[in-house]
Amino acid sequence: MKIEIRSRDGLARAGVLVHGDLSFPCPGVTEVDAVFPSLLARAYENVPISADEAFVAAWLVSGEEPHTVHPAYHEPVSAGEAVMVANWQTVLADPGAYVRHLVPLIESLPPDAPRYAPAAATPLNAALLAWTGFDLFDYAATDLAAARGRFLLPEGELGADALESGVCACEGCVAGDLRRHNRLTLERELALVRSFVQDGRLRDLVDSRCRLDAAAVGVLRLLDRRYPFIERWTPVTGPTPMRANSAEALGRPEVRRFAERVLKRYRPSRTDTVVLLPCSARKPYALSQSHRRFASVIRDRAHELIVTSPLGIVPRELELCYPAAHYDVPVTGYWDAEEVAVIAATLGAYLERHAFGRVIAHLEGGALRVAEVAAAGAGCTLERTVADGRPTSEASLGELEAALDGSRRRLEDPLRGLALYQFDHELDLSCLRSRGRYPRLQYLRGKTPLFGIDVDAGLLRPTFEGWRRLGEGYRVTIDAFVPQGDVLAPGVLDADPRIRPGDEVLVVGTLALATGRAAMSAAEMCASTRGVAVRRRKVMKLEHK
């Protein structure tokens, strides 16, 4: 069996599963016995998920495809061949076991192997299973529910009398066939999952579905805590808006990645004075009415830092980065204790790391509380400039003007911040000029374009000339060929391990250079035997003397 991946969203993949003359959508459900008839006669594969390595090595016998694998031990699997995880349904109610077994399982398997979870999928958990990397399912769980008289929906289970309640009008319900209804509901849910994967929004669907299942919420939270694992699969760009509608948004890998890059990669160009500002509903912040008023007062006389949930802090230079310019959050005016603690820790680390001469808090409410906690932890003195509880009032803006009186001006250019955040490289901005209207800017040297800002993706887009100024990082090395289309994984020889799906990369070969955007992480493009590694934008043939 082969998987033709057309879209990725973290661990989830959407595309087509192909086995001989058969093909069906992925993630998908099928009569697996018809696809893999050998399963009916195979033995010694029903090993418990909780078994240790010695037990699995002694008893597990993996036959032909799909190859049975186990979190504790498995025989090497050829790239691209389907694998089966027996008894995965036994960890669905145990979030700790689910995540504890999932991580080594995914890390040990070839990235282009279709993953089959037998007897596990129901309409309620299908989105979660797909989000955690499973591609292939059967009807065993839905048929068993029908035998027990359970009417399945993505929202949970009802009794068999729901067939006549009007809750669903599928052909199974019309015919009074509970088994048929359960199967059709699973098929519809998986079709919805595929659509959400294609749009990069599967996390939103999982967030909504898991509210009716405490174990699923547990899996979500525990997997977010495995940040080094889940971050490698998480794209650097995503849907607009990124919906931060639940408390779990604080732990989302894209949110944590943003905070870590702000602390570890970004360095402000000035440390004399920092002004802490509230966020705005409009993104990027600089285009909002409130931030235009702030800018008219600050006039480049201080480093500007926006305090916001769930991202924590957003330096003005980075306000175009994903997800800073792309998130949406419920606005209630209330910051709970966890929000304050998490964001204050990030802000405190930033203040301590850069040792600002003055810290001015032009904030109110929960954001001010965050600043107070952070300043206390960092040993900073906080200057408050909001006079009447309204940062945009004339009185408050007057206080801010007075606090900055005498400070010298110094422009902080978004090009510098984007290059630090995206490529971990300090750009020399001398001899560069910009054209266009903020935020859709292009940077040139003379008449030669070097960089453009892709506002929709929140990325800096270098030209070939621009890449020459970015050091040696974010390269994908390919074999001796000139790409005629997208760069496929079999042609990749090496890749910068920092590359994630969605990253801007430079493809380097002996015969050509190419610019484009990564479709896989570095580890996946180096280990895969099929699939698009880089979606090519431009190619430049190299001349050889």
Per-residue pLDDT of 401-439, as tens digits, reads 999 999 999 999 999 999 999 999 999 999 999 999 999
Confidence of residue 149 (pLDDT cuts 50, 70, 90): very high
Q: Domain extents for the chain?
A: 2-228, 242-404
- Crossing angle between the packed helical segments 214-225 and 202-209, to the nearest 10 degrees: 140
For range 180-184, the mean pLDDT: 98
Query: Would you say residue 80 has pLDDT above 70?
Result: yes
pLDDT tens across 344-359, in order?
999 999 999 999 999 9
Tell me how far apart the alpha carbons of residues 372 and 41 are, in angstroms, rounded to a whole number: 67
For range 119-148, the mean pLDDT: 97
242-404 belongs to which homologous superfamily? Uracil-DNA glycosylase-like (3.40.50.10630)
Confidence of residue 537 (pLDDT cuts 50, 70, 90): very high
Q: Which two tokens stand for residue 241?
A: 């808006």
pLDDT tens across 361-378, in order?
999 999 999 999 999 999
Confidence of residue 141 (pLDDT cuts 50, 70, 90): very high
Query: Would you say residue 544 has pLDDT above 80?
Result: no
Query: Would you say residue 267 has pLDDT above 70?
Result: yes
Q: Which two tokens stand for residue 503?
A: 């990253």
Report the percent of the chain where pLDDT is more than 70. Answer: 100
CATH 3.20.20.105, domain 2-228, yes or no? yes
> For 189-198, 330-339, 482-491, which range has the lowest pLDDT when averaged over its residues?
330-339
Q: Residue 449, CB half-sphere, CA atoms under 13 Å: how many?
A: 12
pLDDT tens across 206-231, in order?
999 999 999 999 999 999 999 999 99
Query: Would you say residue 545 has pLDDT above 70?
Result: no
User: What per-residue confidence (pLDDT) applies to 63?
Assistant: 72
User: What per-residue confidence (pLDDT) applies to 62?
Assistant: 77
Report the percent of the chain where pLDDT is more than 90. Answer: 89
**Tokens 């984007």 belong to which residue?**
418
Spatial contact of 283 and 324, defined as CB atoms under 8 Å apart:
yes
The pTM assigned to this predicted structure is 0.94
User: What per-residue confidence (pLDDT) applies to 226?
Assistant: 97
Tell me how far apart the alpha carbons of residues 381 and 188 are, in angstroms, rounded to a whole number: 57
The mean pLDDT value of the chain amounts to: 95
